[in-house]
Structure 1
Amino acid sequence: MLYPELFKALEAVRWNMEKDIPWDRFDASKLSDEQAKTIKMNAITEWAALPATEMFLRDNRHDSDFSAFMSVWFFEEQKHALVLMEYLRRFRPELLPTEAELHAVRFEFDPAPPLETLMLHFCGEIRLNHWYRCAAEWHTEPVIQQIYKTLAQDEARHGGAYLRYMKRALQEAGDTARAAFAKIGVLMASAKRTQQALHPTNLHVNEALFPNDTIQSRTPEPGWLENWLDSQIKFDSVWESKVVDRILHNLSLLFEHSFASVQDLNRFRKDALARVAKLTGVEQSAQTA
């Protein structure tokens, strides 16, 4: 099992909200209304770990190890929402999210293949790590800068934990896992070709509720994320290239195959799919023989 080891590792580096956040360094003159409003939206977005955890537990009932790890991931992600809300409670209480605003992002996700979902959230952690690092540079108030740096480190560790489960999946499912991971990797590393931000909270997850079936669509300002990225923190092509490079680097290590571009990864995906199709065909032939 991976859970006991991951629990121990994450417990050893867990930060304390009272002791490790420099609340006494707050400088009101360095926090604009524009910046404060984005903190509220990120707090609501982080609250969406709640429905994501419910999805993970439902779709991974076959995997008690991974489901147990969700106790750690869920705790730390909800702590992200809490520290952002604590910042607002202390310094901009009029912007503190209401319980109704938080509850609005809790809704049921349609069932999805566990391997694809695992890879989607692995990429999401990489992307969020870079978003928060960029946000820390955009903000000018020292306490929120430290908070975003702290959250970015958590997201990187979460990505590392997901990667451990992806390695295990390769041992158990072989080319089926390779094809699933490569498929989502191609999608999540192709943000330059899309208008929307490629993150789990910005993807459609409930067909019956479409188009109001993304986390972002259910926030008080559905278009805030793109504006935050494009016009405020300015998450530009240089930052996006860092995300793509990190995804390709990790998949190169995971698959023991070098990927210099998304096109290389897509070719690998097609080869893995072909092997899966061939194996499936052989198995079907054996069953009908």
Structure 2
Amino acid sequence: MLYPELFKQLEAVRWNMDTDIPWDRFDAGLLTDEQAHTIKMNAITEWAALPATEMFLRDNRDDSDFSAFMSVWFFEEQKHSLVLMEYLRRFRPDLVPTEAELHEVRFEFDPAPTLETLMLHFCGEIRLNHWYRRAAEWHTEPVIRHIYETLAKDEARHGGAYLRYMKRALNRFGDDARAAFAKVGVLMASARRTAQALHPTNLHVSQKLFPRDTVQSRLPDPQWLEAWLDRQIQFDAQWEQKVVDRILHNLSLLMERSFTSVQELNRFRKELGQQKAESPVLGTHAA
């Protein structure tokens, strides 16, 4: 089992909201209304760890190890929402999300293949790590800058934990896992070719609720994410390339094959598909 070791690793570096956040360094003159609004939207977005956890537990009933790890992931992700709300409670109480606003992003996700979902969230952690690093640079108020730096490190650690479960999946499911990871990797590393930000909170996950079936679409300001990325933190092509490079680097290590571009990864995906078509006995696992 991976859960006991991951619990110890994450427990050893867990930060305390009361003592590890420098609340006394707050400078009201360095927090704009625009910046405070983005903090509210981020707080609500992080609350969506609740329906994501419900999805993971539902779709991984046969995997007690991974389900147990969700207890750690869920706790830390909900703490992200909590610390952002605590910041607003202290310094901009008029912008603290209401319970109704938080509950709006709790809805049931449609079932999805577990291997693809695992890879999707691994990529999501990489992307969020880079978004929060950029947010920390954009903000001018020192306490919220420290908070975003702290959250970014958590997201990186979560990505590392997901990677451990991806390695386990390769040992269990072989080419089925490789095909699933390559498929989602191509998608998540191709953000520059899409009209929307590629992150789990911005993907459609409930057919019956379409088009209000993304987390972002259910925020008080559904257009916030694109504005935050493009105009505010300016997550440009250089930053996007950092995300792509991390995805490709980790998949190269995972697959023991070098991928220097999305095109190379896509060719690998097609090779796996061809091999499966030629050898029906391969890929018998249904995720």
Q: Which residues of 2 match residues 264-279 of structure 1 at below 5 A?
A: 264-279=264-279
Any idea what the Cα deviations from partners look like across 1:20-50, whole Å, max 9, x if unmatched?
0000000000000000000000000000000
Any idea what the Cα deviations from partners look like across 1:188-231, whole Å, max 9, x if unmatched?
00000011000000000000110000000000000100000000
| Contact 2:43/2:84 (8 A) holds in 1 | yes
Matched residue, 1:74: 74
Matched residue, 2:104: 104
Q: CA deviation at 1:273?
A: 1.8
Letter of the aligned partner of 1:210 in structure 2? F
Letter of the aligned partner of 2:115 in structure 1? L
Matched residue, 2:230: 230
Q: CA deviation at 1:277?
A: 2.9
Q: CA deviation at 1:279?
A: 3.2
| Contact 2:276/2:282 (8 A) holds in 1 | no
Matched residue, 2:215: 215
Matched residue, 1:136: 136
Which SS does the other structure have where 2:83 is aligned? Answer: helix
Any idea what the Cα deviations from partners look like across 1:82-105, whole Å, max 9, x if unmatched?
000000000000000000000000
Q: Distance in 1 between matches of 2:52 and 2:84?
A: 19
Q: CA deviation at 1:283?
A: 9.3
Q: CA deviation at 1:274?
A: 2.1
| Contact 2:196/2:226 (8 A) holds in 1 | yes
Q: CA deviation at 1:280?
A: 2.2
Q: Distance in 1 between matches of 2:242 and 2:45?
A: 23
State the identity as a percent: 80
Letter of the aligned partner of 1:246 in structure 2? R
Q: Distance in 1 between matches of 2:237 and 2:283?
A: 45
Letter of the aligned partner of 1:60 in structure 2? N
| Contact 1:60/1:66 (8 A) holds in 2 | yes
Letter of the aligned partner of 2:248 in structure 1? L
Q: Identify if the C-alpha distance between structure 1 residues 282 and 3 changes in structure 2 by more than 3 Å, giving closer, same or farther.
A: closer
Letter of the aligned partner of 2:37 in structure 1? K
Q: Identify if the C-alpha distance between structure 1 residues 239 and 69 changes in structure 2 by more than 3 Å, giving closer, same or farther.
A: same
Letter of the aligned partner of 1:90 in structure 2? R
Q: Distance in 2 between matches of 1:281 and 1:153?
A: 42
| Contact 1:175/1:273 (8 A) holds in 2 | no
Any idea what the Cα deviations from partners look like across 1:124-157, whole Å, max 9, x if unmatched?
0000000000000000000000000000000000
Matched residue, 1:179: 179
Q: Distance in 1 between matches of 2:152 and 2:97?
A: 22
Matched residue, 2:8: 8
| Contact 1:22/1:143 (8 A) holds in 2 | yes
Q: Distance in 1 between matches of 2:283 and 2:115?
A: 22
Letter of the aligned partner of 2:202 in structure 1? N
Q: Distance in 2 between matches of 1:111 and 1:186?
A: 21
Q: CA deviation at 1:70?
A: 0.2
Which SS does the other structure have where 2:58 is aligned? Answer: helix
| Contact 2:175/2:283 (8 A) holds in 1 | no
Specify every segment of 5 or more residues in structure 2 that has no aligned partner in the other structure, as ranges. Answer: none
Q: Distance in 1 between matches of 2:271 and 2:176?
A: 11
Q: Distance in 1 between matches of 2:234 and 2:252?
A: 28
Letter of the aligned partner of 2:174 in structure 1? G
Letter of the aligned partner of 1:247 in structure 2? I
Matched residue, 1:198: 198
Q: CA deviation at 1:51?
A: 0.1
| Contact 1:212/1:218 (8 A) holds in 2 | yes
Which SS does the other structure have where 2:18 is aligned? Answer: coil
Asked if 1:260 is matched to 2:268, the reply is no
Q: Distance in 2 between matches of 1:271 and 1:23?
A: 53
Q: CA deviation at 1:275?
A: 2.3
Q: Identify if the C-alpha distance between structure 1 residues 264 and 144 changes in structure 2 by more than 3 Å, giving closer, same or farther.
A: same
| Contact 1:176/1:276 (8 A) holds in 2 | no
Q: Distance in 2 between matches of 1:282 and 1:42?
A: 43
Q: Identify if the C-alpha distance between structure 1 residues 121 and 283 changes in structure 2 by more than 3 Å, giving closer, same or farther.
A: closer
Which SS does the other structure have where 1:62 is aligned? Answer: coil
| Contact 1:202/1:215 (8 A) holds in 2 | yes
| Contact 2:176/2:283 (8 A) holds in 1 | no
Letter of the aligned partner of 2:80 in structure 1? H
Q: Distance in 2 between matches of 1:182 and 1:104?
A: 33
Q: Identify if the C-alpha distance between structure 1 residues 156 and 47 changes in structure 2 by more than 3 Å, giving closer, same or farther.
A: same
- CA RMSD of the aligned region, Å? 1.1
